[in-house]
């Protein structure tokens, strides 16, 4: 599953224009350190939009959302990641609207120059980004979000409903698929297209696969509409081709040439790399596997565990005596006595793990920094190396690599969506799609030789098995796992003892700085439409990560 790398000459020109979608006139969000998109060549805008969107997706995939879905935990500056402490001032969507501004300029340039294929591509990228905003926050500026240049009436745009945003992007994805299926359009420059190298069929597959994602998003809320959309796509593969093999995954690789994000530039290096960031408390060192995922992988004898994580460098071994806590004679293990273990367990209310292969940190525990007897005296500071637990695989220390990808949507996800649709009897073939989803994830991570025995040990048993495998396959693309959990309650994830609430969060907060204080009337209207749950806690308004937006209102999911 080797995806194309950026052309270095191309990537040196890529600049992210950080433009908010709903600022006042005196903050029209023109980056003073970057050229205006209006003066930027159409073909140079394309890689800018693709990579800036990919950067947002990977930030979600390995960032705080990965903590929510219990793929990772952090051992330094961890309150947002492990404990979902997000309330003040909330999460900013400025970068997302920056992506949209560039995508909209690409769209306008394409229409003006009769670049029908670029027009279709820009519609897909806009749909993807607006979909993420609706997924993360709920109601948001949509129809009027990118119209500030038309005058003061659009400086403070209305927050459209989450429902209308979903319906709008589904219509745009179908329109984009139609545009890209036309003959005779001006070709997309394959050097500038860092996602699919100008391959229109792959762009169509991307559009229709993304549509499947959003039809399934509506499964519980608008069942008949969702069913009709899925059936229409599945029953007409010539008109609606899909990403069904890992070779077509919508991934972008990192060239690994720079970690410089000054002046609005996008880093060209994998975000946890230690090539450009050698700090001992940097992202790589403080990001650790979560026990929830590690234990699931171990229970299934899943070969992907060795691709994603390293084994424990120095497992703990219980020995006799008292006050024993030191390396063994050969240095391969760490010997501890029962009294030392008891003191640790009493202090942190967390049991020791003596596993000799892989160990993750339990979710939202109070002593993540010192987990598994990494006692304070042995830890030089937050986020430092811990020899008694697993680290991320050492490839995540690199700036580039075949598996270090911005993963926008995968064949594994598409097959699991189809398996879920079949589990509702919308279409047929649930077990086949389920097995194919696992196969394509194994293909993507380079462990395809092990798939037959694995599937035999993890057979299809209904929706729970589908969502568990989809949750596993969403490693480094954790947002989709969160969105699935919200609407299905699967997998059964429990908040840890140090979590901000006793349940996992449901949405991002609207930002006090970006939204509530600058577009107060419309932001408050959107907040009034949120339905608080009993877990809202100390949040003073319905603008809570534990309030339900439209997609979850009236459902019993996930609580």
- Whether 50 is covered by a domain: the verdict is no
The two structure tokens encoding residue 147: 């119209």
> What pLDDT does residue 5 have?
52
- Whether 333 is covered by a domain: the verdict is yes
- Partner residues linked to 327 by β-bridges: 334
Domain count, the chain: 1
- Whether 115 is covered by a domain: the verdict is no
Mean pLDDT of 158-164: 98
Question: Apex CA 136: angle with CA 364 and CA 17, to 5°?
Answer: 110
> What pLDDT does residue 274 have?
96
Mean pLDDT of 236-246: 98
Domain that residue 340 falls in = 283-396
Whether 1 shows a pLDDT value over 70: the answer reads no
- Whether 335 is covered by a domain: the verdict is yes
- Whether 36 is covered by a domain: the verdict is no
d(CA 58, CA 208): 21
Whether 29 shows a pLDDT value over 70: the answer reads no
Across all residues in the chain, what is the average pLDDT? 92
pLDDT digits (tens, 9 = 90+) for 60-117: 999 999 999 999 999 999 999 999 999 989 999 999 999 999 999 999 999 999 999 9
Mean pLDDT of 349-366: 97
Question: Apex CA 426: angle with CA 421 and CA 431, to 5°?
Answer: 50
Contact by Cβ (8 Å): 310, 396: no
pLDDT digits (tens, 9 = 90+) for 396-413: 999 999 999 999 999 999
Q: Prior bond to 491 cis, omega within 30? A: yes
164: pLDDT confidence band, cut at 50, 70 and 90?
Answer: very high
- Whether 487 is covered by a domain: the verdict is no
Q: What is the DSSP string of 263-316?
A: GGBPP-S-TT-SSS---TTSHHHHEEEBHHHHHHHHHTT-THHHHHBPPPSS-E
- Whether 383 is covered by a domain: the verdict is yes
- Whether 535 is covered by a domain: the verdict is no
342: pLDDT confidence band, cut at 50, 70 and 90?
Answer: very high
382: pLDDT confidence band, cut at 50, 70 and 90?
Answer: confident
> What pLDDT does residue 150 have?
94
> What pLDDT does residue 266 have?
79
> What pLDDT does residue 120 have?
98
The two structure tokens encoding residue 476: 């480094």
133: pLDDT confidence band, cut at 50, 70 and 90?
Answer: very high
Whether 336 shows a pLDDT value over 50: the answer reads yes
């Amino acid at each position: 599953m080797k995806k194309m790398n950026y052309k270095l000459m191309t990537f040196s020109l890529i600049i992210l224009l950080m433009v908010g979608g709903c600022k006042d006139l005196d903050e029209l969000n023109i980056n003073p350190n970057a050229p205006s998109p209006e003066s930027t060549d159409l073909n140079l805008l394309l890689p800018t939009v693709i990579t800036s969107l990919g950067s947002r997706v990977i930030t979600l995939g390995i960032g705080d959302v990965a903590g929510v879905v219990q793929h990772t935990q952090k051992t330094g500056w961890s309150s947002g990641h492990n404990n979902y402490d997000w309330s003040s001032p909330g999460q900013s969507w400025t970068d997302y609207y920056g992506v949209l501004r560039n995508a909209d300029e690409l769209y306008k340039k394409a229409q003006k120059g009769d670049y029908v294929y670029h027009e279709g591509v820009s519609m897909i990228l806009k749909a993807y980004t607006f979909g993420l905003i609706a997924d993360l926050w709920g109601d948001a500026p949509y129809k009027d979000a990118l119209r500030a240049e038309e005058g003061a009436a659009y400086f403070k745009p209305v927050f459209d409903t989450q429902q209308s945003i979903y319906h709008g992007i589904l219509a745009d994805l179908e329109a984009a698929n139609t545009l890209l299926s036309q003959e005779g359009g001006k070709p997309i420059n394959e050097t500038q297209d860092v996602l699919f190298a100008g391959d229109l069929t792959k762009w169509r597959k991307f559009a229709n696969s993304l549509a499947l994602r959003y039809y399934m998003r509506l499964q519980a809320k608008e069942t008949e509409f969702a069913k009709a959309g899925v059936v229409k796509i599945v029953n007409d593969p010539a008109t609606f081709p899909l990403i069904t093999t890992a070779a077509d995954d919508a991934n972008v690789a990192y060239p690994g040439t720079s970690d410089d994000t000054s002046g609005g530039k996008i880093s060209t290096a994998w975000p946890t790399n230690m090539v450009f960031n050698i700090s001992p408390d940097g992202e790589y060192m403080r990001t650790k596997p979560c026990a929830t995922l590690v234990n699931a992988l171990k229970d299934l004898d899943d070969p992907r565990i060795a691709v994603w994580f390293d084994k424990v460098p120095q497992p703990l071994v219980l020995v006799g005596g008292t006050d024993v806590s030191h390396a063994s004679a050969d240095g391969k293990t760490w010997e501890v006595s029962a009294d030392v273990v008891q003191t640790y367990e009493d202090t942190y209310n967390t049991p020791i793990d003596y596993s000799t292969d892989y160990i993750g940190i339990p979710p939202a525990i109070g002593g993540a920094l010192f987990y598994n007897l990494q006692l304070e005296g042995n830890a030089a500071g937050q986020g430092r190396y811990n020899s008694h637990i697993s680290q991320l695989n050492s490839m995540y220390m690199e700036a580039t690599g075949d598996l270090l990808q911005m993963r926008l949507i995968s064949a594994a996800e598409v097959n699991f969506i189809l398996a879920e649709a079949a589990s509702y009897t919308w279409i047929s073939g649930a077990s086949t799609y389920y097995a194919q989803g696992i196969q394509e994830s194994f293909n993507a991570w380079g462990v395809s030789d092990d798939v037959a025995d694995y599937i035999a040990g993890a057979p299809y048993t209904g929706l729970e098995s589908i969502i568990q495998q989809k949750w596993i396959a969403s490693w480094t693309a954790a947002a989709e796992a969160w969105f699935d959990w919200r609407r299905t309650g699967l997998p059964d994830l429990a908040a840890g003892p140090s979590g901000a609430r006793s349940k996992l969060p449901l949405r991002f907060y609207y930002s006090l700085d970006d939204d509530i204080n600058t577009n107060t009337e419309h932001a408050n209207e959107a907040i009034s439409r949120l339905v608080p749950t009993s877990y809202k806690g100390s949040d003073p308004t319905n603008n809570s990560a534990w309030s339900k937006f439209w997609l979850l209102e009236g459902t019993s999911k996930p609580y």
